[in-house]
Structure 1
Amino acid sequence: MKWSVLISLIYFLSDVEGLKVLICFPLPVKSLSILGQGAVRHLMEAGHDVTYITVYPLKIKAKNFRQIDISTNTALVASDESLTMEYILNHKLERNPPNQVQEFAVEALKMTLNHENVKKLLEDPNEHFDVIITDLIESEVYAGLAVLYNCPMVWLYSMGAHWQVLRLIDVASNPAYDPDYLSPNMPPLTFTQRAEELWSRIYWQYLKTFYTQPEERSIYEEVFGPLLAKRGRPLPDYEDVMYNASLIFANEHDATRNRASTPQNFKYIGGFHIEEPVKPLPKDLQDLIDNSKHGVIYFSMGSVLKSNSMPRKLVMDLLQMFGEFKQTVIWKFEDNSLQGVPKNVHIVNWAPQPSILAHPNVKMFISHGGQLSSLEAIHFGKPIIGIPVFFDQFTNIHKAAQNGYALRVPLSQNLPRDLKPAINTMLSDDRYAKQVKELSDLYHDRLTKPGPALVYWVEHVVRTRGALHLRSPALHVPLYQRLYLDLLAIILIITFSIIFLLIRLCNNKNGKRNDKKKSN
C-alpha cells in the first residue's frame, strides 16, 4: 500500500516537474514587459525551464532560463510623438481609435515573427515546449505557437474581463453593462452611453472581421504553414486555433466592482508582478521618506509617458504648486537638469515604485492610472489622484473613483490649478485612505497568492492536457442557436403560414358570396 501511494505521488509530481515553457511578450510597452518578467520569475522559482521572447532583455543567468531578444521592436514607438505629453495635451482624446490599436498589434506581430532570433527558434525541429504563455493584446496569431509545438495555449491579458478577450473562450459580455476597455464610460450606463458602447463594439468587430483578421490569417498561414509542412503536419484553420486557448490569465482581482461574469478558464491573478517582500529602498530614498515628518506624496506618470515631455511652463507651474505643501513630494521625472526645484520636491529619474508605495509614510499616489500602478495602489493601500491620458487609464481611474479611493483630475494646461485642491482634499479627508485599506484587505483575502496561482494553473493545464473540463460549452454554440434565431424563424414561418391561410379562407368566402350575389 505504501509503495503504491509513493509511486502515485512520484507519477503526479513528474507530470509537472521541469516543464519547458515558452513565454512571449512581443509589444514594445515597458509595463507589459513587467508582467512577462513576473511570469518568468514565478515559473523559474517553481523549477521550470523558461524561454522568454522579449523586447526588454533581463539580466538573468540561470540554467533554466533562456531569452530571445527582439529589442528591435522598440522602433515601433521610438519616434512616435503621439506618446509625448505635449502632443497629448494638444490633441486630447478620451478614447483611442480601435483601428490604431489593432494596426499597432499587427505591426508588432510582423516584426516579431520575422525577427531572425524568433525565426531561428521556430525553424529548429528539435525545439519543443509543454505550454505556451503569450501576451494578449488585439492579435491572436501567437496561438500558432501552440499549434507548432502541439501543446496547450495560455493567454496572459494585462487587463480585466473585457468582451474582446472573453469572446475567445466564451460568449462576449453585453455592452449594456460591460464597456469597451478603451472607453471612459462606467456602469450604470445612460441611454447615450449604451448606444456608444453598442456602436463601438460593432465598429471594432467590423474592423476586425474585414481588415485585421484577414491580414492576421495571411500571416498565420505564411509563417506556420511551411513550419508545419516540414514536420509533416497539416495547418489547422485559423479560426479554430484562435478559439482553442486552454486558459486566460487576467491582470485584475476580485475586489473591484462591476466586473463581468467569467467562465471557469478565466483566472484573475492581478498583482502577480509585485515581488514579496518588496526590495529595500536605496539608502537616500529610505532616509528621505523616513525623515518626512508630514508624509510623502508620490507622483509618477508611468513607464510610457515621460514627465520631461511636458511643456516647460507646465513643469515649472507644477513645481511651484508642489512647493506650497509641507509634505515631501517624490516626482519621477526623466531629467536631472531641472532648475528652481523647491526644497520639499525630490526628483528621481527612475523610481522603485512598489518599494516607495510600501512605505507607511507615503500618503497618496498621483498616477496616470495604468493597470499595474492601479493594482500596486490597492496592494499597498494607497489612495490615488488619477490623471488619465489614454488607453485603459480612464476606465481604471473611473473604477477607482467609483470604489471610493480616488479623485480624477483632467490632464490640461491647468493641471497645477486643478491638482492642488485634489491634494488638499485627500490630505484632509481620511475617507479615501480608509476605503483603499478596506479594498486592500479584500484584495489580499484570497485562497492563494497570485504568483503561486499562476504556477498552479499552468501546471494544471499541462497535467490535464489542455484543461478541456474548464472550457465553456457556449464557445461551440453558433450565434444563431444562442439567440434562438432558428426557433424564431420557425415561429415566424408558422405564424405567417396561419395568417396566409386565414386570408385565403376569407378571400374564398368573400368570393363565394359575391358569386351568389351575381347569380341572384
Structure 2
Amino acid sequence: MPRLCGIFVFLSICLVSFTPPCDGGNILVFPVDGSHWINMKILLEELHARGHDITVMRASTSWYIPEKSPLYTSITLEMDSEIENFFDVYLQEHMRAQREGASALTFFKLTKDFLSMIAEAHSIWSDALVQILDDKNLVKSLMDSQYDLVLTDPAIAPGVVLAKYLKLPIVLNVRWITSGEGHFAIAPSPLSYIPVPGSGLTDKMNFLQRVKNMLFYSIILFQQKFLVGPSYDTICDKYIEGGCNIISLLQEADIWLFRSDFVFEFPRPTMPNVIYIGGFQCKPAQPLPADLEEFVQSAGEHGVIIMTLGTLVNALPREVADEIASVFAKMPQKVIWRHKGEHPSTLGNNTLIVEWMPQKDLLGHPQTRVFVAHGGTNGVQEAIYHGVPVLGIPLFFDQYDNLLRLQERGAGKIIELGNVNGHSFEQGLKEVLHQDRYRQNMQRLSRLHRDQPMAPMDQAIFWVEYVMRHKGAPHLRTDAYNMPWYSYYCLDVLLLLLTAVTIPLLSTLAVFRFLCCRSRRKNKSKQH
C-alpha cells in the first residue's frame, strides 16, 4: 500500500511538472446587452477556460446578462431607465413602413426615430457612468482590484471612458462604435469605394451612388457630433484630466478585435492594431437532440430548410408569416422555423415551429439546404463557416449590408420585406435551393474562411493576453490622429511647394515684363 501511494505521488508530481503554467489575468469587462452579449460571452468563456479572472459590469435592467455566472463576478449598476419598449415600437414601425412602401417622408421619420433611440440609449448610459464615477467606494474597489485591462464593446462608450479614468489598457470587442462602423474612426476610409453602413452600396459605385454614400456619411458625423458626443463630453471634461472625446479614446485603444474578415468584408485600408476575428464564435456542429435529429432525418433526400429572425424579432407581420408558411407547406423539404407567438394559419405538416433552435448545429448538419435569415452578423458568419447558402429578409440596422456582401459574392439572395409575398418568396427559395452556384459559392467562402494560420478565437485570446503581458500595445497605434487635418492631408506642404514654385515663376515673369516695358520705352524715345 505505501508503495502504491508513493507511485501515485510520483505520477502526480510528473503531471503537474508537465502542465504548462497559466498566468491568469484580471479583466474588467463592460459589455453591451442583446445580441452583442452573445459574442462577448463566447469570448469570456474562452478567457475563463484559460484561467483568467473576469469581472462584468451590468445593468440591473439587463435583458441577457445574468447577475450570477460561473464565468465571472458581476458588478450590477442600479438603473431605472431602459429603452426596450421604445426599441420594440421602433422595430414594429420600421417593419410596417417597409411593407407599406417607404416614401422620403417615412425615411426621414424612421431615421429621426432611430437617431432619437440611439441618443436616448447613450444618455441613459452616460448617466450610469456618472453614477459609477461618483461612487467613491466603487471607484476605490475598481482601483484596488488591479485589473490588467478593460475589455469592452464600444457600441456604447462607458467602458472606454472608464478605462481612461482607471488608466488601464483597453481591448475592444468591436464592429460598431457609438457613431457607426468602427473602421471609420481608426483607418483611412475613402468614400469613393468604401460604402457607409446603411447606404446599401458596394465597393463599386457610380457618381450618384458616391453622392448617396457621402450623404449617409454626413448622418454618421451628425450623430457623433450632436447626438452621441455631447452625452459623454461633459463627463470627459469633469472626470478626465485634460478632457477627451469618444473618438479620440477609441483611437487610443490598444487592440481592436474586429468581428469581421475580408472573406466577408469588402477590401479596405486598415491598421496594425486591428485584429480580424470574424467567425470566432463558429465551431464544428454538435449532435442534435434526438427528437430534432429524427425530424431532420425524416426529410430524406430533399433535406431541411431552417429559418430564424435572430434574437430581437420574435415574429414577422401576420400577413407575411402566413405567406411564408404557405410556401413552406408546398415544399418537399422539411422546415424548422424559429417563431414565437401565434402560429401562421397556413402552416403545413412539414414545418416544425420552435421557440429556440441550435442554429450552429443545424447549419452544420449535412441535411440543411438553405438558411432563411434576417442577416445578423452572427448568422451570416455561421452560414459562411458551414457553407450554407442564404435567402435573406433584412429588417433593420446592418442586416441589408451584411446580406448584400453575400449576394455580391453569389452566395445568397435578398428579398426585401416590402416585396415578400407568396410568389416572390417561393421564387427566391427555389432559386437558392436548386441553382448550384449559390451552394458552390458559399462553400468556396467557407474554404477561404477556414484556411487561416490561426483560428479567429485563438487570435482573439492571443492578443488579449499580449496586451496583459506588455501592459498595452502603444507601438501598434499611429500618432496621425493627433495631426491637424491640413497636416494629415499635407495641405501645408502642398502650399509651401506651390509657393516655392510660384514666387520664382512670378518673379521671373515680373523681371521679363519690366525688361520688355523698358525696351519699349527706349524704342519709343528713339523714334521721337
Tell me the TM-score normalised to structure 2 length: 0.83
Question: Secondary structure of 1:58's match?
Answer: coil
- Runs of at least 5 residues in structure 2 that lack an aligned partner in the other structure: 1-16
Once the two structures are superposed, the pairs formed by residues 118-517 of structure 1 within 5 Å of their partners are 121-122=138-139, 124=141, 125-137=143-155, 140=157, 142-158=159-175, 165-169=182-186, 171-209=187-225, 212-222=228-238, 224-225=239-240, 234=241, 237-238=244-245, 241-256=249-264, 258-274=266-282, 276=283, 278=285, 280-293=287-300, 294-307=302-315, 309-310=316-317, 312-412=318-418, 414-472=420-478, 474-498=480-504, 500-502=506-508, 504-505=510-511, 508-509=514-515, 512=518, 517=524
Note closer, same or farther for the CA distance 1:504–1:207 as it changes in structure 2 (3 Å cut): farther
1:461 CA displacement? 1.0
| Contact persistence 2:82–2:124 (CA under 8 A) | no
Q: Provide the aligned length of Structure 1 versus Structure 2.
A: 490
Aligned-residue sequence identity (percent) comes to 23
| Contact persistence 2:154–2:160 (CA under 8 A) | no
Question: Secondary structure of 1:427's match?
Answer: helix
* Residue among 28, 31, 34 paired with 1:22: 28
Question: Secondary structure of 2:418's match?
Answer: coil
Q: Which amino acid aligns with 2:281?
A: H
String of CA shifts for 1:474-493, please: whole Å, max 9, x gaps: 44544323322112111332
Is the deviation greater in 483-492 or in 411-420?
411-420
> Root-mean-square deviation (CA), in Å?
3.3
Residue number in structure 2 paired with 1:231: none
1:90 CA displacement? 3.7
Is the deviation greater in 91-100 or in 281-290?
91-100
Residue number in structure 1 paired with 2:96: 86
Q: Which amino acid aligns with 1:284?
A: D
Residue number in structure 2 paired with 1:4: none
Note closer, same or farther for the CA distance 1:450–1:60 as it changes in structure 2 (3 Å cut): farther
Is the deviation greater in 234-243 or in 336-345?
234-243
Is the deviation greater in 399-408 or in 196-205?
196-205
String of CA shifts for 1:352-377, please: whole Å, max 9, x gaps: 21122122111110111111110010
Question: Secondary structure of 1:248's match?
Answer: strand
Residue number in structure 1 paired with 2:7: none
Note closer, same or farther for the CA distance 1:211–1:368 as it changes in structure 2 (3 Å cut): closer
Residue number in structure 1 paired with 2:11: none
Question: Secondary structure of 2:330's match?
Answer: coil
| Contact persistence 2:338–2:354 (CA under 8 A) | yes
Residue number in structure 2 paired with 1:37: 41
Residue number in structure 1 paired with 2:84: 77
1: CA distance between counterparts of 2:427 and 2:374?
18
2: CA distance between counterparts of 1:190 and 1:446?
34
1:65 aligns with 2:72: yes
1:215 CA displacement? 3.7
Residue number in structure 2 paired with 1:3: none
1:284 CA displacement? 2.7
1:251 CA displacement? 0.8
| Contact persistence 1:96–1:182 (CA under 8 A) | no
Question: Secondary structure of 1:47's match?
Answer: coil
| Contact persistence 1:152–1:246 (CA under 8 A) | yes
Note closer, same or farther for the CA distance 1:313–1:202 as it changes in structure 2 (3 Å cut): closer
String of CA shifts for 1:92-126, please: whole Å, max 9, x gaps: 45995784575255235325425679956445353
2: CA distance between counterparts of 1:118 and 1:258?
44
Note closer, same or farther for the CA distance 1:358–1:262 as it changes in structure 2 (3 Å cut): same
| Contact persistence 1:96–1:390 (CA under 8 A) | no
Q: Which amino acid aligns with 1:152?
A: P
Note closer, same or farther for the CA distance 1:204–1:460 as it changes in structure 2 (3 Å cut): same
* Residue among 114, 119, 127 paired with 1:103: 119
1: CA distance between counterparts of 2:134 and 2:425?
46
**Greater relative contact order, per chain length (Cα 8 Å cut-off, separation 6+):** 1
2: CA distance between counterparts of 1:427 and 1:335?
28
Tell me the TM-score normalised to structure 1 length: 0.84
